[in-house]
Structure 1
């Protein structure tokens, strides 16, 4: 696909597809992440609730006095450590350091699930502990049923608290059973890494595939457009011969002495319309060749200062007839050269200047500015004319587009001038854009890559015609 518009459209299609897919995949990843978290948390909480409930049901029927440990504590939890005793917290169970028989019926819970068990009285005072790393948990005891705690190393624990009663229904205190969430946090961290790495890679793959698919989808359009271009080129080329014949015939008829004045007026009208049609055909042929890159160009060093001076001399009479001031402003200390076709560059600039004069009321100004910016020559054609509405500025470089019907009837023209100007500028590796406000005027800005000529000349900073 050689057409710049198609390349731009292909990029847009691929980009939008990749963005949409990235959003969809991000949303799916977030949903999967949340579902996994919820499922795992529910599983942990059910397991914790089962252990806490079993301990509660075994211990509570044997409690006689509030805050007093009974023999059942030691029977159920052989490694229990009373808070007022001198047992070291180093004896609290850690992975693989003790045998299952030391810990009674709950030894599998200690070994594999990293549980801890705490007993506190009604005032929150710690009575006894058992299980995994109970000494590193916060000393503050809260009565909430479900809590998430952190130890000194930042490890998280899920904890369930159940109220204990004595045999005579007095408040004995609480049993708090907690489970380490390290395995959950590790799984979630791994999942985050997978999502963080997998999503960009997937988006890149989607972007590449979308670029390929967009190319496949646009091949029929590209083929049709090339056929249309070829038809336009062939038709324009074939129309030149009969138009030239019509013009020759009209000129021959003008040489006949016996023609009436009315016939001469009719022939003059035919000649004018034939001339307009010939110009339209020539413009269409040129535009088609520029887009197909088959237009022969003579790449030479073109001095933009000289081109602008010549054009200002050429259009000075037209500007004076329209009661306008046509001036140039050169903001550089050297001559600016570009590689290109001089005739085509003259056509671009003459088209912009002619439009500026055409759409500027009497008493206005048209200024051509030449300057150098970042390795490019910048030519601005400014006017104080009627301006162009912002919503129409993006269409004015399309072929046959006219801003409004009133302007078309008043000025005539084919509507191909700016399209040809853009095609010529792009063929020279440059760009053209417009800035305009209705009622205040317009500024057409052309950027062309510079080529430094060996001979340095001095140019005037300001040149007025």
Structure 2
């Protein structure tokens, strides 16, 4: 229960950190997007105003003759021009009568200043609350008395004989521009919590996926510890019981003492074998590539194993034979002792689970890239639901931990670890009541 709580807390912290980091990244991206959109629109706005102002400037400058005087022909370009201090000229706007139709849009205005910076004429949709003070800066952003924002450009005007005439300012309201940016900002502000919430849900799901291998590994360690403790406890309990029985006797004759020592020796040997297997698995886990490798002849290894287990096969009334499917010797680069141990574990496993009168066949073949070793038996077989677990450490198909076949449940795990350390593969095919086939594939010698 405590472990589950620990993993849930770890998952929550992982999800929160992930959501926090993503929130910071998304916030920075949102700010960057807003800055990029704003910059792009300011650039577009400047280009638009500069284009309109440049066209108007060039058109008017060709018609100016005296400094500070507007020629009547300018009225054709700016029909609604209004001279400060005089009656404003107001004519209906006809887009066919002039070329600068942009000036007559609701958000554009034009201002004329003389050489002394005095405002003396306006045109377009001129905001009356705008300050009449002249500013020589090329670009200005200013507000009227109602708080509305305008953006304008200032250009110098000359007469036809290149005398200074004054200045022209062309500007426009940027309310539509600010409204668009406000909409973008609002979208980002309102969208961020929704996106961050979705990221939070995704991070909780991703944290579960990330924690699954760790949780599985932790459960395997727990199971391994429990199984190892069980396996170690059995011979230790038998040893303790034997010693206690001997101590309760007033005296031991030579025969009883020898039997007691033989029992202790068997249990000690069982403990030694178990610890040796555990150390071998630990070494294979930490050092996946065998330390010492040499050229190994698989034909010789298989023949030696058939000879070694012949007596065991005869004692259990099982036919044990080899089947070499190729005529030339098969050599690979491997650790011979480990390879010998791996194949022997599979042969012992096949003999133990094959009933009297059955067969165990060890076949050797090769393809272009791999050497194939098959250990086939006619034993009890393995249920399909158990096939994915048979290489787990201390795992037994029968949960009652029967000792009828002996062993510690590490044989197949060791066989797989050795094959994987040699960059090979091992798999099993089995049918309940019909037998099993274990197939080893090892890379050929280059």
> Post-superposition shift, 1:101?
1.8
Q: 1:185 aligns with which of 139, 156, 178?
A: 178
What per-residue deviation string (whole Å, max 9, x for no partner) do you get for residues 129-183 of structure 1?
A: 0111331212221011111111222222111111011233221110000011111
State the partner residue of 1:169.
162
State the partner residue of 2:57.
56
Q: Does 1:210 align with 2:203?
A: yes
Deviates more, 1:7-16 or 1:130-139: 7-16
Alignment CA distance shift 1:24-1:196 (3 Å): same
The answer as to whether partners of 1:78 and 1:102 remain within 8 angstroms in 2 is: no
Q: 2:193 aligns with which of 200, 205, 208?
A: 200
What per-residue deviation string (whole Å, max 9, x for no partner) do you get for residues 338-367 of structure 1?
A: xxxxxxxxxxxxxxxxxxxxxxxxxxxxxx
The answer as to whether partners of 2:67 and 2:164 remain within 8 angstroms in 1 is: yes
State the partner residue of 2:226.
233
State the partner residue of 2:13.
12
Q: 1-side partners of 2:72 and 2:171: how far apart?
A: 22
State the partner residue of 1:373.
none
What per-residue deviation string (whole Å, max 9, x for no partner) do you get for residues 263-295 of structure 1?
A: xxxxxxxxxxxxxxxxxxxxxxxxxxxxxxxxx
What per-residue deviation string (whole Å, max 9, x for no partner) do you get for residues 396-421 of structure 1?
A: xxxxxxxxxxxxxxxxxxxxxxxxxx
What TM-score results when the alignment is normalised by the length of structure 1? 0.49
The answer as to whether partners of 1:66 and 1:170 remain within 8 angstroms in 2 is: yes
Q: Does 1:139 align with 2:132?
A: yes
The answer as to whether partners of 1:114 and 1:132 remain within 8 angstroms in 2 is: yes
> Post-superposition shift, 1:206?
1.4
- 1:162 match: secondary structure: strand
The answer as to whether partners of 2:110 and 2:168 remain within 8 angstroms in 1 is: yes
| Gap regions ≥5 residues in structure 2 | 253-446
> Post-superposition shift, 1:236?
3.2
Q: CA RMSD for the aligned pairs? A: 3.3
In the TM superposition, 1:67-86 aligns within 5 A as 67-86=68-87
- 1:101 match: secondary structure: coil
> Post-superposition shift, 1:237?
4.6
The answer as to whether partners of 1:14 and 1:211 remain within 8 angstroms in 2 is: yes
- 2:152 match: secondary structure: strand
| Gap regions ≥5 residues in structure 1 | 92-97, 260-465
Alignment CA distance shift 1:217-1:205 (3 Å): same
What TM-score results when the alignment is normalised by the length of structure 2? 0.51
Q: 1-side partners of 2:245 and 2:99: how far apart?
A: 118
State the partner residue of 1:46.
47
The answer as to whether partners of 1:77 and 1:103 remain within 8 angstroms in 2 is: no
- 1:85 match: secondary structure: coil
Q: Does 1:116 align with 2:109?
A: yes
Q: Pick the structure with greater CA Rg.
A: 2
Q: 2-side partners of 1:125 and 1:227: how far apart?
A: 88
- 1:79 match: secondary structure: coil
Q: 2-side partners of 1:103 and 1:136: how far apart?
A: 31
> Post-superposition shift, 1:227?
3.0
Pairs aligned (count): 256
> Post-superposition shift, 1:86?
4.3
